[in-house]
Amino acid sequence: MIFKSKPEFCTVCKKQITHKHKAKKEWNVKSPLCGDCYVDKMKESYDASVHQNCVACGTRHKVTDLWEPRWQWDMTGLLCKSCFDKKEEDFTKKKNFCCICGAKLGFLRYNPKSKWSLDGQLCKNCWDAQKTKNG
């Protein structure tokens, strides 16, 4: 026989391959793949594109049921509805109350200096107290 190619093996299951399939770049596996592994990987990557974990609680959800965090929250990934609601509540709370004494913040509110490492805004009293304490 003139045509003779060396046998090739699937990089995943190590079976000898009759019909080679090329793995897609995003699968992070080497080519070639056998038919079975190729189909498996196709399914996996399809699944990954329709399902994702909520970044807060880690539960798996359909991407269509997940919410994009608001840009103010400064986070990446997707959130499930309950984590989204919780986050929004936290954020609104943080926004409206002094992060030290919990007093409701009116129109006048003060941002902490970054070296105070406080998360949230302050009322005038707490801001003054922090300033005296930490400079």
Residues that bind Zn ion (CB under 5 A): 10, 12-13, 34, 37, 54, 56-57, 80, 83, 98, 100-101, 103, 123, 126
User: Kind of pairing, strands 60-62 and 8-9?
Assistant: unpaired
Nearer to Zn ion, 25 or 104 (CB): 104
Q: How many CB atoms lie within 10 A of CB 96?
A: 14
Q: How far is the CB of 1 from Zn ion (least distance, A)?
A: 26
Nearer to Zn ion, 48 or 57 (CB): 57
- In this structure, what is the dihedral angle of CA atoms 24, 27, 30, 31, given to the nearest 10 degrees? -30
Nearer to Zn ion, 12 or 118 (CB): 12
